[in-house]
Amino acid sequence: MDTVRVVCGIIFKEDKILLCRRKAEKSLGGYWEFPGGKVEPNESESDALIRELKEELAMQVEIDKHFKTIIHQYENVQIELIAYGCKFIQADFVLIDHDEIQWVEKKKLLSFNLALADVPIAEALVPMDSIS
């Protein structure tokens, strides 16, 4: 089975991180995720992230550095989820694949119904002493 390479942004604005909820009719509908999308052939991860955020959210970010890579097997596809820390610049928040967005405090990330591949990223972000 081929692995689909997906890049996502951990987008910081002040002390909060952006989460987006996938539209019900999309794959993983209703789940929250760090925004991003598939890396196309011959496309760098950073170029893919910039393109996907512009297409899906009309957003501009400054990419900082690689944070974490997760391999996750869903029922019918394996994905390699590559997460980058990003600084929010601006957005019109035109929602294409999502029906809601929220800026979330790190300690509250795990209270959202996250897509399973995104959970280990959120766990790595949440300070251990804030888990009750």
For 30-80, the pLDDT digits (tens) are 999 999 999 999 999 999 999 999 999 999 999 999 999 999 998 888 999
Model pTM score: 0.92
Residue among 62, 55, 64 at smallest CA distance from 35? 55
Q: Which amino acid is at 114?
A: L
Q: Is the pLDDT of residue 1 over 80?
A: no
Name the band, by pLDDT with cuts 50, 70 and 90, for residue 29. Answer: confident
Q: Is the pLDDT of residue 111 over 90?
A: yes
Q: Domains in the chain, please, with CATH?
A: 3-130 (3.90.79.10)
pLDDT digit string (tens) for 9-18?
A: 999 999 999 9
Q: How far, in Å, CA of 39 to CA of 6, rounded?
A: 6
Other C-beta atoms within 10 Å of 118: how many? 23
Q: Is the pLDDT of residue 21 over 90?
A: yes
Q: Is the pLDDT of residue 131 over 50?
A: no
Partners of 18 in the β-ladder: 103
Q: How far, in Å, CA of 120 to CA of 110, rounded?
A: 10
Q: Is the pLDDT of residue 23 over 60?
A: yes
What value does the mean pLDDT take over residues 3-22?
A: 95
